[in-house]
Amino acid sequence: KAGVTQTPRYLIKTRGQQVTLSCSPISGHRSVSWYQQTPGQGLQFLFEYFSETQRNKGNFPGRFSGRQFSNSRSEMNVSTLELGDSALYLCASIEVAGYYNEQFFGPGTRLTVL
Amino acid sequence: GENVEQHPSTLSVQEGDSAVIKCTYSDSASNYFPWYKQELGKGPQLIIDIRSNVGEKKDQRIAVTLNKTAKHFSLHITETQPEDSAVYFCAASLNNDMRFGAGTRLTVKP
């Protein structure tokens, strides 16, 4: 089956703008997590969605938001972009296997804020 | 919350040698420990994982060990090849709360 799809792959924005990133999980997976990856901070958890509901949220400001649609596709939005928001944004498709949940990552969206 | 420490941050080995990456975690309730390999320009790829009720798991040249008492787990790669060069991340998870180590950049020299 197809893997995790993230669009766009690359994005360049300027400070103050907003951006929307999209993630389509693996078919049949109903849960999605978003991460921010930077050289200095590593992989940091943003939020997790399951069946259109946000189940968990990381320690990011309110400028970072997300949502999930009925077909499990998810979007994340960053408003009022700052230079420090430049990062690789990764979406993980989660296979809920009872007690243990495996996460499969997409290729990411590389966001550059100028 | 969970805190995962990973060592070393960089590792260089000769082709054919073994490589070992170690991680420690703080929350004894964590029950799932995956390892990811990330190549340049790509997202992390799950390469092996271990559950808290298992002490060791092996998949061809890759093995992972878990010591629940000491709260540490390790990735072992034997007979390394140049294509093993990448950044490796460990993670510890309880339910869907997954925390990652800072990563180890492995370089395998031909």
B96 pLDDT above the threshold of 90:
no
- Cβ-defined contact of A101 to B93 (cutoff 8 Å): yes
pLDDT band at B18 (very low <50, low <70, confident <90, very high): very high
Q: Which two tokens stand for residue B32?
A: 């799932």
pLDDT digits (tens, 9 = 90+) for A51-91: 999 988 988 999 999 999 999 999 999 999 999 999 999 99
Are residues B11 and B19 in contact, defined by beta-carbon separation less than 8 angstroms? yes
pLDDT at A97 exceeding the cut of 80: no
pLDDT tens-digit series, residues B26-69 = 999 999 999 999 998 899 999 999 988 889 999 999 999 999 99
Chain-centroid distance of CA B9 in Å reads: 12
Print burial letters for A10-32: b (CB count within 10 Å at least 16), e (below 16). eeebeeeeebebebbbbeebbbb
Q: CA A77, CA A92: separation in Å to the nearest integer?
A: 16
Which residues from chain A sit within 8 angstroms of residue B42, using beta carbons? 107-108
Asked whether the beta carbons of B52 and B72 are under 8 A apart, the reply is no
Q: A99 pLDDT band (50/70/90 cuts)?
A: low
**Residue A74 Cα, gap to closest chain B Cα (Å):** 17
Contacts of A107 in chain B (CB under 8 A): 41-43
CB B46 within 8 Å of CB A103: yes
In 10 A of CB B38, how many CB atoms? 21
